[in-house]
């Protein structure tokens, strides 16, 4: 399993580590040097834009489970045959990722013209439960 640890909530990372251990799957975390991540298999990358994403793309193989909030990264990983899950337990699917990318572009365009968009909702315990259930399902 690979984790995009740059923006991964701590509770989500702990669930990844716990379930990875329970299922006998090593958990590789990738983050820039600006983050303090405790993991048996942690890869530190520089602080350049997209550096962690590029490393994850280079590491991922077909069948890997990757945890990320980045829709663009998820789209590329799906193309490699990886299975992608966001920290709230939503699995990115090849048949829905295009819609998400279009939505991201529309929102970015709105922000560039001075508009505002809503940020993510605050994380709640139900997100952790949903994530743990979805990750367990991917392992089985």
Enter the pTM of the model: 0.84
Are 88 and 137 spatial neighbours (Cβ–Cβ below 8 Å)?
Answer: no
pLDDT at residue 101 greater than cutoff 70: no
User: Residue 58 is part of a domain; what is its CATH number?
Assistant: 3.40.50
Domain span holding position 57: 2-139
The tens digit of pLDDT for each residue in 45-80 reads 988 878 999 999 999 999 999 999 988 899 999 999
Domains in the chain, number: 1
Are 117 and 99 spatial neighbours (Cβ–Cβ below 8 Å)?
Answer: no
């Amino acid at each position: 399993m690979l984790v995009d640890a740059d923006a991964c909530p701590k509770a989500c990372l702990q669930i990844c580590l716990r379930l990875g251990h329970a299922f006998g799957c090593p958990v590789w975390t990738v983050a820039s040097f600006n983050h303090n991540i405790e993991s048996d298999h942690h890869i530190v990358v520089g602080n350049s834009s997209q550096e962690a994403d590029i490393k994850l793309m280079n590491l991922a193989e077909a069948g890997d489970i990757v945890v990320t909030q980045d829709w663009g990264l998820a789209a590329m990983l799906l193309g490699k045959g990886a299975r992608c899950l966001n920290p709230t337990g939503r699995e990115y699917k090849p048949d829905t990722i295009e819609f998400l990318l279009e939505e991201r572009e529309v929102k970015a365009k709105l922000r560039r013209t001075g508009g505002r968009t809503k940020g993510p909702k605050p994380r709640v315990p139900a997100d952790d439960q949903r994530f743990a259930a979805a990750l367990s399902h991917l392992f089985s």
